[in-house]
Structure 1
Amino acid sequence: NGFSAHAGQDGLLAYANATRDTLKKVFLVHGEPRGAEPLMEKLIQSGIKNVFYPTPGAVFEL
């Protein structure tokens, strides 16, 4: 089984909420903006911080 911003969005949100205390950064690196951006907003609205949908070539320190 895999996750996507479409059918698996509820599962991704549930997983993120269940692991919220250990999450440091969340990167949405797969999918079109029309699917990833609403998921990013839902993650942020649920209280998860440091959620990113990076542009190609963006660099982050982990």
Structure 2
Amino acid sequence: MPLEQIRPSHIHQYQNFLEKRELSSTTVRIYLTLIKVICLCINNSSYNLYFSMYSYKR
């Protein structure tokens, strides 16, 4: 599904799905936070720049 097609209702459905799996509330929040960060990274080039500047390099 393209990012442009994702709606708040999809996120809410995903949250309900996670809760029905009886995951802890902390785990559900972590998963939802990861989705938020991914969306921010995709939609915000300065956010991407920040991570590219401060990423770990061997």
TM-score, scaled to structure 2: 0.35
Decide which structure has greater helix share.
Answer: 2
Structure whose alpha-carbon radius of gyration is higher: 2
TM-score, scaled to structure 1: 0.33
Decide which structure has greater strand share.
Answer: 1
Q: Which has the higher contact order (CA 8 A, sep 6+)?
A: 1
